[in-house]
Amino acid sequence: MLYRPRVAPTDTLPELDEHIDAPTRLLLEQHGRAVAQGEVLFREGDPATDAYLLHSGRVRLLKRVRMVERSLSVLQAGDLFGEGALIDGALRTSTAVALGEGVVLVLDRAAVRQTLERFPALSARILTQLVRRLREAEDQIEVLMLRDTQSKVISALLKMSRGTAGPADLLVSPVELSSRVGLDVETVKRAVQRLRDQQYGPIVGERVEIPVLEALRRLYGLLGSKEELRGER
């Protein structure tokens, strides 16, 4: 199991920050719900009745593939998820699990529409998020086509460094990286450790530093050449 099911959800909101603006405070009071670490917000296959907007904390989306649960993504504050609820008769396509304590907005279709009308900036953010998800999905398909574990991890790191001219400083957890490459967390940890041992960059906690991106690109090209010679790609 990639999560610990929680029997009783925590509905009581924590004390709200006094600096929160009045509209946001009202939104949290009307639709906010506290979640606890390990709490399952919804399960794959369940009827989709509400969408969720993550106010604070992190949520992991999981999907069962051949009896094994795989991590799809790790969501951050401001992310919308469970948006399939906006379609009549939709079922959940994944399972959502809280990675820590946090607060979510639970929104039915009418509430989603009202919220987007009241917060135009939120509409723009959600649109940007959906475009980013499409791009990440394309990247993930490309990564999943690779067979070598190390190539998968390096490819994901290079894609996350896209647009960086100099050294890259990435804040990414093993859980998030595993969701990007379709591998279990322990396999990802070993692959990242191998890069550190080969001195491609220090790793401290959830921070990966890549001082010379070109060196990592050369390694990726070398691994790709080896796959082609073996007829694996």
| Every domain of the chain and the residues it spans | 22-139, 145-230
Answer whether CATH 1.10.10.10 is correct for domain 145-230: yes
> Would you say the CATH fold of 145-230 matches that of 22-139?
no
Non-local CB neighbours of 177 within 8 Å, separated by 6+ positions: 153, 156, 157, 188, 192
The 10 Å CB-count burial string (b at 16+, else e) for 163-182 is eeeeebebebbbbbbbbbbb
Decide: pTM greater than 0.95: no
Question: Distance (Å, rounded) from C-alpha 37 to C-alpha 40?
Answer: 9
Torsion of CA 79, 82, 88, 90, to 10 degrees: 150
HSE-up of 59 (CA within 13 Å, CB side)? 29
- Better-scored residue on pLDDT, 8 or 47: 47
Q: Which two tokens stand for residue 98?
A: 């809280």
| Residue 145 in this model has a pLDDT that exceeds 60 | yes
Tell which residue, 185, 192, 186, 193, has the closest CA to residue 62.
185
Q: Which two tokens stand for residue 87?
A: 């379609």
Non-local CB neighbours of 50 within 8 Å, separated by 6+ positions: 82, 85, 106, 107, 108
Secondary structure of residue 41 in the 3-state scheme: strand
By the 8 A CB rule, do 160 and 172 touch? Answer: yes
For 41-83, the pLDDT digits (tens) are: 999 999 999 999 999 999 999 888 777 777 788 888 888 899 8
Q: pLDDT band at residue 131, thresholds of 50, 70 and 90?
A: confident
Q: pLDDT band at residue 5, thresholds of 50, 70 and 90?
A: very low
Res 6: pLDDT? 46
Res 229: pLDDT? 63
For 25-35, the pLDDT digits (tens) are: 878 888 899 99
Q: Which two tokens stand for residue 88?
A: 């009549």
Average pLDDT, the chain: 81
DSSP state of 12: S
What are the beta bridge partners of residue 102?
A: 35
For 148-197, the pLDDT digits (tens) are: 888 888 888 888 888 776 778 887 878 778 877 878 888 888 888 888 88
CA distances from 225 to 36, 76, 153, 166, 222 (A): 46, 36, 16, 25, 5
For 80-127, the pLDDT digits (tens) are: 899 888 888 889 989 999 999 999 999 998 888 888 888 887 788 888
Average pLDDT score over residue span 3-17: 52
- Better-scored residue on pLDDT, 33 or 7: 33
Q: Where do we find the tokens 């009896």?
A: 67
For 194-219, the pLDDT digits (tens) are: 888 888 876 776 777 787 788 888 88
Angle, alpha carbons 175-184-92 (nearest 5°)? 70
Q: What CATH homologous superfamily does 22-139 map to?
A: Jelly Rolls (2.60.120.10)
